[in-house]
Structure 1
């Protein structure tokens, strides 16, 4: 697949086949996420891979909104993405480097998440980025340390649908050249 084809193939998948994903494919997606740029190379994103049926039930029941748990049903794994707080966007003096503060941690996590999803699409896998989740429950269930901020939960699996690309803005509507 060309890069442009990969960009166009990536969709939010809300129905999955009940099929496993090879560990090598999961690792390839995580490795792609690790390659994402980050503030001062801080590399703060972390990844919690939920494969155990028992932990998956807990995450579905307590960590996700019911509609998200339903949309991710049959996805082979869930990946809870976090970032280490007070590093990305912070100076060596321990103070925020600008008005963004920990927003740069979110930004870096978004870059990592996109790389993860693009790699999945390139491998023929589907993803769903879920932002409506219970951070406290996820931290409790997965033992996520207090110095990490839980971001999206990403479903990963074999798509059981082929959604059409939604309409996108025209370049003239999205960009202003001066």
Structure 2
């Protein structure tokens, strides 16, 4: 698939077919995501991959609001995180600029975008879920306190065909000087 076609065909899918995603598929996707740039090549992004039906059910019912619980049925769940206070800080632990941990979040976003595109290239679909209970995710998946939980990515085979959402006009988002 050509790159432009790939980025234009990716959609947020909110209904998944009862078809398993394999560990091997997820490993291939994460390997692609690892190619994203990161602050000083620190590579602080982490992926907690929830594959078993029992654990997925526990995460969905314990850590998500009801709407995300319903939208992620049958999907594998990938909890994304990054190491806190690592990128965007100098050697004495002070933020290099006003963004501080924002750089870790930025790097995670770059990695997640490649994750989403690689998944689409492989025939899988995704949903980025930012509304979740981070503390409960931390408890259920044993995520250490030194990591900031980002989004949860639902990953699976679409059981719907979402329409392409309207995008803002270029003039609304870009200024040229």
TM-score by length of 2: 0.97
- Matched residues in 1 for 2:24 and 2:123: separation? 13
Q: Report deviation, 1:31.
A: 1.1
Q: Report deviation, 1:56.
A: 1.3
Matched residue, 2:63:
63
Matched residue, 2:117:
118
1:71-150 matched pairs, under 5 angstroms? 71-75=71-75, 77-150=76-149
RMSD over equivalenced CA pairs, Å: 1.0
- Matched residues in 1 for 2:152 and 2:146: separation? 18
TM-score by length of 1: 0.96
Matched residue, 2:18:
18
Per-residue CA deviation, residues 133-162 of structure 1 (Å, 9 max, x unaligned), is 001000000000110011100000001111
For structure 2, the 5+ residue unaligned runs are: none
User: How many equivalent residue pairs?
Assistant: 177
- Matched residues in 2 for 1:85 and 1:41: separation? 15
Structure 1 residue ranges, 4+ long, deviating more than 6 angstroms after superposition: none
Per-residue CA deviation, residues 2-49 of structure 1 (Å, 9 max, x unaligned), is 000110111000011100123322112111221111111111100000
Residue 7 in 1 paired to residue 29 in 2? no
- Matched residues in 1 for 2:87 and 2:69: separation? 30
SS at match of 1:21: coil
Per-residue CA deviation, residues 114-142 of structure 1 (Å, 9 max, x unaligned), is 11001011111100000000010000000
